[in-house]
Amino acid sequence: MKKVSGVIYFLFKEAFWGTVNALIMIVAGVLIASFFIYKYQMPNVSMMKEIKNPQTTTIYDRSGKNILYEIHGEENRKILSHDEISNVVRIATIATEDKSFYSHVGVDFVSVMRAIKINIERKGIFQGGSTITQQLARNVFLSREKTIPRKFREALIAFKIENNFSKDEILDFYLNEVPYGSNAYGIESAAEIFFRKSAGELTLDEAILLASLPKAPSYYSPYGNHREELKKRQAKVYDRIKKLKLISDEEVDEYRKVDTLAKIAPFQEPIVAPHFVFYVIEELEKKYGREFLEVGGLQVITSLDLDLQKSAEKAIFEGALANISRGASNAALVALDPKSGEILSMVGSRDYFDSDIGGQVNVATRSRQPGSSIKPVIYATAFEKGFEPESLIADAPTNFGPDGSGGNYIPQNYDGKFHGVLPMRKTLAMSLNVPAVKTLEAVGVDSAIDMAHRLGITTFNERKRYGLSLAIGGAEVKPIDLTSAFSVFANDGRRNNPHSILTIYDNSEKKYQKEEENEQVINPQVARKINSILSDNSARSAIFGLNSPLYVPGKAVAAKTGTTQEFRDAWTVGYTPNIAVGVWCGNNNGWPMKAGSDGVFVAAPIWRKFIDSLPQKYFSGNFMAYEKTNFRKSLALKDLEKNSDLKEKKEKKESKKKKDKA
């Protein structure tokens, strides 16, 4: 037994020391290789003093001839000396990017280990733990590809930079190099573009806001759609400065009270269709990263039709001004090609440069309550389940039971009246609320949400939140999503996701081209039934009249309006077989408009003005007729029986009263 134990011990000892020796050899090999790479294969870091000449990325309209925007490189950089950079800028940058900057040797090994842990947990390269020196090394000498070899080279270059320059010099290089968005390269250009002042004049709150941008310049842009997220990031930097004791707590608390975003200067760079351009840039950044856009020299051909864009901007501006008397300060429009999903025009507000109305917010991509404009989605669900435009439904007072607020859900119609038993064609065309809720009750909320998602609506994701009020706009949608959903009806039930980029060229070679989708998501017969109803001027005339803005004589046009509670949102979404157009009106802050500001009065005139401006090609063709069947399903039978019983009881009661009086 002792002999066996001795053998096991011997084998264990040999294996252990064999492993140790192997590890020593590996570490020694890595160190030797690192030394030779560091000594002989690393770039000359003195090259940092020489500015590179990156190529401009240009964004065009769909013709490839009209420039919408240019993403520049060096042209917007101004180099500052050490004395020209204020200490608040250094403090804000260190607190934001690299709290151990003055103590590490180019690599922060604690941050690296934390990043490795996160990457292992998430099974990918999501964090790199880069120091300011590493970021500088990457910006000047390397690409942004997320690979282990690139990170290894980045670390070695960072060590070399640290051995050749002082900490202050490295920080100065970084502050003159880093992109802040909106074509601002370096802290001086950023200060001038965003605050109209020199970097040496920046206050603490301004310096912190600028230091918050380099992580994701487009996402956090003060001119973009994520200003609230920028505020939160700025608040975190204040907390870090306090924790690191870089400035007195009193001074930090004083500056924290300042609304820095209110000090942002208006965006003044030459730009066409700004909401659309920033929408495109966000998509490009997802593909290539911001830094590549700034130096890569891409030519981006977008889907924007510049003539349609000008017509849309004119319709929105004039219509929104006319609506001010109704208490609506803003409006948005998006137009799509149903056959391809291409965004032909996008206007996110009345005036992008008007901060008083929140003009930089792209309402075309924001969630708002749709009111009755969601009803075609509910009815499409019913038609898929066997109902027909001819199916009968009773528009009568109905108690749908507890609504979750302690009361019962008893919806009312827009006109305050009830219209008796009608075919579904008329209840949708007339936009009657009670029949829409009955329809949703019949098909089920989950089925309606499934339909909405198939059509391209990206909201409605918290299913437990929604009840029968979903039928009349009780959940938020994005104008671009709802317009896209309607485009499925226009395209005979086939869906194409909205997209803004057609082709991307790199040095005249094609780098990317949008592939066709055209997925059949609903039966063509369902789409044709919705088209038939929404283009039936006679069917809606009882509520809207024969000459509403929705009626375009002699042309195949379908449309639906929507108005939310307290007149906070007004909608008109419509389409021909060749274009889908959605218009939203209201106030960005959700304030209600004046009573009576319905979609047909506020949004429809803008929609119609744009429709009237369209070239004839958008009106070619007609909606295909649906196949009529001997429909059997009806929601009115029980209501008819109930109403008949009530009528009989009422007649008997009145007869008894007459007899009693006699």
Sign of CA dihedral 264, 266, 268, 272: positive
pLDDT at 509: 80
Evaluate if residue 50 carries a pLDDT over 80.
no
Q: Which two tokens stand for residue 601?
A: 């009065």
- Which residue ranges form the domains of the chain, and what is each CATH number? 79-266 (1.10.3810.10), 309-499+517-638 (3.40.710.10)
Evaluate if residue 363 carries a pLDDT over 90.
yes
Q: Look up the pTM and report it.
A: 0.71
Q: Confidence band (pLDDT; 50, 70, 90) for 40?
A: very low
Q: What is the pLDDT of residues 72-125, one digit of tens each?
A: 755 566 778 899 999 999 999 999 999 989 988 888 877 767 766 666 666 555
Contact 191, 201 (CB under 8 A): yes
Q: What is the pLDDT of residues 175-193, one digit of tens each?
A: 988 889 887 888 988 998 9
Evaluate if residue 210 carries a pLDDT over 90.
yes
What gap in Å lies between CA 385 and CA 388, rounded to an integer? Answer: 9
What would the DSSP string read from start to end of 398-461?
A: ----B-SSSSB-----TTS---EEEEHHHHHHTT-HHHHHHHHHHH-HHHHHHHHHHHT-----
Reported as half-sphere exposure (CB side, CA atoms, 13 A), residue 293 has a value of 26
> In the 8-state DSSP scheme, what is residue 500?
-
Q: Confidence band (pLDDT; 50, 70, 90) for 27?
A: very low
